[in-house]
Structure 1
Amino acid sequence: MSLSELQDEADAGAPTHVQGAASFSKFITVLQIIADAPGTLDIAQLTKRAPFPRGTVYRLVAALMAEGLVTQSGDGGTFRLGPRLLQLAAKTWEDSDLRTIARDFLESLRDATDEAVHLAVPSHNRMVYIDKLVGSNRVQMKTSIGGQVELHSTSVGKAWLSGLPDQRLLEVIKSLDLRRHTAKTFTTPEALFDELKRTREQGFAFDDEENEPDIRCLGSPIFSRSGEPVGAVSISMPVYRHDARRHELCARLVRQTAKQISAELSRMV
């Protein structure tokens, strides 16, 4: 089915909005803006970036600060995520069944490739790294647990997207800001949709310097017992360590690892 055909079908069966979702979305939007530029935005800059009236932004920020979800520095009055939010996030990652189940498989993947491996889960149209293991090489990706990356330009993001059913995939693609990060980034819904069809067919996603120059990644989706994509595992390396032989090896191993994690996840949860 083509992207335009999916669009027509999705529009015909579009769901109604959940009551209260708009208000909640405003808080999440402000949190995301702060998370994307921690310690760099004061209230004037924040009001320019947030798509809400100035008074609304002031009230949202005040409420977030009162709950400890956002803090303001004394130097310049810039904002960053607060300790309560970070504590909640850390608790989530520590207690994650997926992270616990995947750890041994991630270690095996790291040992077999001697490259950085990541485990990521979807969050608000992004992927969040919940685990990372590195190889012995001195040159590594500058990523960290808790870091967020976009769906359309990364192997973990494209892998997760490829596991979605067509209708849900279309909804997500429509909601994405397909920002260009490099000359190779997919920036149109049609091109991204075609790329995800290829990803499905081959069982892994390939980030060919689409998110940052000189870095290539291969990722594969992890599925729950019900067949829902719940995350992705990836291998990342600099371009100079990637060739046809390594590509074939890493593609096979990342597919295998994702299948093993999915199988174990289905048995335990």
Structure 2
Amino acid sequence: MQDNPDIGAAPPVWTRLRFEARAAAADEPTMASYIDAAILSHDTICRALAFHMAEKLAGPEMGAQQVRHVVANAYDLNPDLVEAAEADMQAVLERDPACRGLLQPFLFFKGFLALQTYRVANHLWRQGRETLAFHFQSRASELFGVDIHPAAQIGRGVMLDHATDITIGETAIVGDNCSLLHGVTLGGTGKEVGDRHPKIGKGVLLSVGAKVLGNITIGDEAKVAAGSVVLKDVHARCTVAGVPAKPVGQQPCCEPARNMDQSIPDDTTA
């Protein structure tokens, strides 16, 4: 079934994206041709995403048509990928004060595009197509400055804000509705093998330059302050800061990833 907005059957994200695309094409004629090619000429958001991602990810190894076929096939086989993309766009719109609509993350925000590239790579990884999955990981790293292993597990409604230098390792898990700012690393602590990367709960805020290392757990709605190095488990709704990071208090409010509140509580508790 097609989600054509002209017959009233489209989900809200696709309807709004097309509306914004029409307005942007009228306001900026120099971009009108690409906006039409990337969005307005398609009947579904999955086809639009496949086209735009292919234009971004194409290179000497794989042309745009090949990439587009791979991405479109992934979306056809796994509709959850499209639902996750919609949730990711909504997350950016809700949390980033610089974002004026859905068109910006869709066309321009490299955090969103890197995350969608990872989602396709993860789908390929689960199909056993590891070489192609690694290719997509490599392209995302080259183009967007974001290095996410295709075997990592990332929930939906996630925002990679600015995104440069975000690194997420092979056995890392990131829950739904998290926000990761630039310079975040979810890494190991050495040459150990097996399950060696962090497990991030739901609604967690990882601020600028936070380094979370080892097979540790960050509880739901916790907050890691900018520049912190986390080497031990963090309780749910706790704020940690420092090198090495230590608890500096409970959250004064819930959902730090949604609120993007990076302040440190005054009332410290160890």
- TM-score, normalised relative to structure 2: 0.27
Structure with higher RCO (Cα < 8 A, 6+ apart): 1
